[in-house]
Amino acid sequence: MDNRSVKPISRGELARVTGCNLETIRYYETVGIMPNPPRTAKGYRSYDDSLVRRLKFVMRSRDLGFSLEEIRGLLGLVDDRTQTCAQVQTVAEAHLDDVQAKIADLMRIERVLSETVARCTGDGAPKCAVIDALLEA
Amino acid sequence: MDNRSVKPISRGELARVTGCNLETIRYYETVGIMPNPPRTAKGYRSYDDSLVRRLKFVMRSRDLGFSLEEIRGLLGLVDDRTQTCAQVQTVAEAHLDDVQAKIADLMRIERVLSETVARCTGDGAPKCAVIDALLEA
DNA sequence: CTAAGGTCTGTAGCTGATACAGGCTCAAGA
DNA sequence: TCTTGAGCCTGTATCAGCTACAGACCTTAG
């Protein structure tokens, strides 16, 4: 299987094949995540295979919760042929720490919330354990 | 201990006693989370004890990850003396579901990320398991 | 009296998109 | 060939949830 004849595609097609929102592609262009693509004679954006792969990379990074800033960093390491595994590891580990901290936060919230909800009688009374918990100093 | 003589406080003091950012207080006013407070003769905002308690309620709800929309709902139930425990329970349980879904998402991300980072050699080589994982289709 | 700090207003900026208006352009059918 | 509907172009507005800043007042301690 050769890739020789892969034709450039339009923005709409790029959106379709990557699952990215049409407008978001333009947004990524303005914030420098995606480069200004070549244009057709009439000014239509034209994406070749390397740009398709780049956006797929972005989408997968986004799925893993990397911020645009972090994605920019990862893309820089991909683009820069002198990148090292250690540099990538640093970014990924920092993000992993973030994710773990968020999980811990949410689990604390979950515990408080479920304990409080459990004290609800759930009836038609105007007295509620949740409200009391939120009101008490 | 009586509360009779609790004096109204300024916006700066309210920020201090609630831990809320000074500007955020004004923001909450514009979006209807906090009411327009009474003013001094010279136009300074003046918060009495009931408004202090209201903002503390908001801050605690925020700590538990309720959105402003949800907080508005909770405040409505607090303000409306015909509120029922069942109504509050509904809001709180919906939020609990949200929180649990977010935890599940983040745990999936955490798993993928830590598995991938574990495959990093962390050396000076330009080949990296994390980048490969993000690049592969 | 003066200087430092608090407060007032309106507005801009942030992240990460998403949406919409108004105008071209392209492709397919009659 | 004409037409019509879809796709693409641009710039700009909107969303949540704040945060920050400028420039003008006001208050208070020394």
* CATH code (residue A16): 1.10.1660.10
Number of domains within chain B: 2
Asked if B128's CB is within 8 angstroms of A84's CB, the reply is yes
Regions in chain B scoring below 70 on pLDDT: 1-5, 137
Inside any domain, residue A52: yes
Residue B100 structural domain: 84-137
Residue B133 is predicted with a pLDDT of 87
Other C-beta atoms closer than 10 Å to the C-beta of A89 total 21
Whether residue B23 is contained in a domain is answered as yes
B68-79 helix and B49-63 helix, angle to the nearest 10 degrees:
140
Over range A82-108, report the average pLDDT.
Answer: 89
Using the Cα atoms of residue B96, residue B97, residue B100 and residue B101 in order, give the sign of their dihedral: negative
In a domain? residue B71: no
What pLDDT is recorded for position B4? 46
Q: What are the tens digits of pLDDT across the range B103-119?
A: 999 999 999 999 998 98
Would residue A27 count as lying in a domain? Answer: yes
CA–CA separation, A90 and A76 (whole Å): 14
Tell me the mean pLDDT in the region A13-42: 96
Question: Does A50 reside within a domain?
Answer: yes
Question: For residue A83, which residues of chain B lie inside 8 Å, CB to CB?
Answer: 126, 128, 131
Average pLDDT, integer, range A83-95: 87
* Residue A59 with chain B: CB contacts under 8 Å: none
- Per the domain annotation, does A95 fall within a domain? no
Neighbours of B15 (CB within 10 A): 17
> Does residue B59 sit in the same domain as residue B1?
yes
Share of chain A above pLDDT 90, in %: 63
pLDDT number for residue A2: 47
Question: Do B120 and B129 meet the contact criterion of CB atoms below 8 Å apart?
Answer: yes
C-beta atoms of B92 and A61 within 8 A: no
One domain, residues B2 and B56: yes
Give a yes or no: residue B99 inside a domain. Answer: yes
Kindly state whether B99 is in contact with chain A, defined as any CB-CB distance less than 8 angstroms.
Answer: yes
